[in-house]
Amino acid sequence: MNLFFKRLSLTGFAVALSTAGYAADLPAPVIEHVPEVPVVGGLYLRGDIGYKFYNDPSGNFNDPVIGDLRFERESMDNAWMIGVGVGYKWNKYLRTDLTVDYETPATIKGYAECVGCTGGGFSEEYTDVDVWTVMLNGYIDLGTWNRITPYVGAGIGAAYVRTNNTYSITPTIGRTDYDGQNGEWNFAWALMAGASYAVTNNWEIDAGYQYRDLGDAKTVKLHDAGSGETRVEWDDLTAHEIRLGVRYNFGGRAAAPVYYEPQGPISSNF
């Protein structure tokens, strides 16, 4: 009987050792640490403010009675702008957005030969111009270094150019005001360059430069001049813009996967 119990004890001890060895052969789960990175593509919103430095436009007045007048010493005030937009980042390098901008009124001034004035001379021509612009833009992000991403881009769209507060000052008559305003849509385009800084994975600060061509501006009809059915036209409304904005990128981070190493064959000595 004692011999039977001894053999039973040895058998149990061998089974326990075999179970422990089998458990030791099982691999422990390995969790890989993958750094979190922002999602590459996605929707974003943007808002911008800026300041426009206008180039000198070209003014003229073509009337069948007065004739063809080409203005001299034209100038245009600078203006502030504010804009909003929605865009999409397609991949690491390409994104597009649709923007709507408004710029504050800027005064255009020019000098025209005063036809019919005693002693000749020049009249001073004034009008205020404000602009709404709708633009579809495309950008190429050139890469990211220390959270800074430089880019270049271009845009096409339409500009609603509105004139108001039109008047002229002549040596003999003095000031003549023309009532009303006139607005027209023009083809517009832009070239741009800048850089963004990623404050967080969702928020970016954008600083950039744009060159914009907004077409031309036409005043109300000058009923007190010439035939009374002709407008002053200001051609080549172009500007250099310095812009500062923010972008909010929708979307979170990529999740770190959890996986187990593949098991190899399990062997036993028993």
Residue 115 has pLDDT above 70, yes or no: yes
What is the pLDDT at residue 223? 87
For the chain, the distance separating the N- and C-terminal CA atoms, rounded to the nearest angstrom, is 26
Model-level pTM? 0.77
Domain assignment present for residue 183? The answer is yes
Domain assignment present for residue 13? The answer is no
Residue 199 has pLDDT above 50, yes or no: yes
pLDDT in tens, 29-43: 555 554 444 456 699
Would you state the torsion angle of the CA atoms of residues 106, 107, 108, 110, taken in this order, to the nearest 10 degrees?
-160
Domain assignment present for residue 84? The answer is yes
Backbone angles phi, psi at 32, to 5 degrees: -85, 135
DSSP secondary structure code for residue 9 in this structure? H
pLDDT in tens, 144-191: 999 999 999 999 999 999 999 999 998 888 899 998 999 999 999 999
Q: Give the CATH number for residue 46.
A: 2.40.160.20
Q: Classify residue 81 by burial, with Cβ atoms within 10 Å: 0-12, 13-18, 19+.
A: buried
Neighbours of 36 (CB within 10 A): 11
What are the DSSP E strand ranges found in the chain? 42-54, 58-63, 67-70, 72-76, 79-89, 94-113, 122-141, 148-170, 174-178, 182-198, 203-213, 217-221, 231-235, 238-249
What is the pLDDT at residue 224? 82
Domain assignment present for residue 262? The answer is no
Domain count within the chain: 1
Neighbours of 105 (CB within 10 A): 16
Domain assignment present for residue 18? The answer is no
C-alpha span between 196 and 125 (Å, rounded): 42
Domain that holds residue 80: 42-249
